[in-house]
Amino acid sequence: MTKARDLANGGFGLVLVKPSTVVNGTDNGKGTVSFSAQTSVSLNDVFNATYDNYRIVCKISGGTDNDTILRWRLRVAGADDSNNTYYSASTYNAYNSTTFTNANSFPATSGLIPLISSNTADGAGGGTFDVMTPFASQKTTWGGFAFAKSVGISIVRGVFDTSTSFTGFTFFPSSNNISGKISVYGYNN
């Protein structure tokens, strides 16, 4: 049964959030951002007081690097926060392998995200992750999973260990460049 309050607020859980501006990418007018052969892509003003928590959905491919590890920085007022306060941990396995490897980043000037891009020939590389309380003046946490044909499954969790109010983020690869699409959704409270 649908509740009247769910109909009134225009959604049933996730609402696509449109960035105010995009750096090194193009918004399709609805909020999905596409980019091609970039060393970074930034979305501004996607985190706000309307939602406490967010889901980021990505389809990423690498230029010439088959196993590009992706990182991110949180942003406010159009500038990345590169303070040494990102703590991340990931677990991943090689494609067709049962062996899992752990990678940690304690502390760092950027955080790991659960994406390892696949090259354009593979065509399979993407995932989702949730970001908790980025706009609130609290510690921002994130976690999620991804799959890339060349690498396998990647699971990441992390925290920005300072109470800061963020409005956006930047993705960038460990090497080479990336192409793909990003959508940000707010969880209805």
**Domain 14-187, what fold?**
Jelly Rolls (2.60.120)
Render 31-92 in DSSP notation, one character per residue: S-EEEEEES-EEEES---TT-SEEEEEEEEEESS-TTEEEEEEEEETTEE---S-EEEEEEE
When mean pLDDT is compared across 32-41, 72-81, 130-139, 171-180, the lowest value belongs to 171-180
Structure tokens given for 35: 């980019």
Instruction: Tell me what the pLDDT averaged over the chain comes to.
Output: 84
Q: What is the pTM of this model?
A: 0.88
pLDDT tens sequence across 108-146: 999 988 766 555 555 557 889 999 999 999 999 999 988
> Residue 1 has what pLDDT?
39
- Using the predicted structure, report yes or no on whether residue 7 has a pLDDT greater than 50: no
> Residue 171 has what pLDDT?
93
The arithmetic mean of pLDDT across residues 34-41, rounded, is: 93
The pLDDT > 70 percentage for the chain reads 80
> Residue 119 has what pLDDT?
57
> Residue 117 has what pLDDT?
58
d(CA 9, CA 73): 31
Q: How confident is the model at residue 149 (pLDDT cuts 50, 70, 90)?
A: low
Give the residue extent of every domain in the chain: 14-187
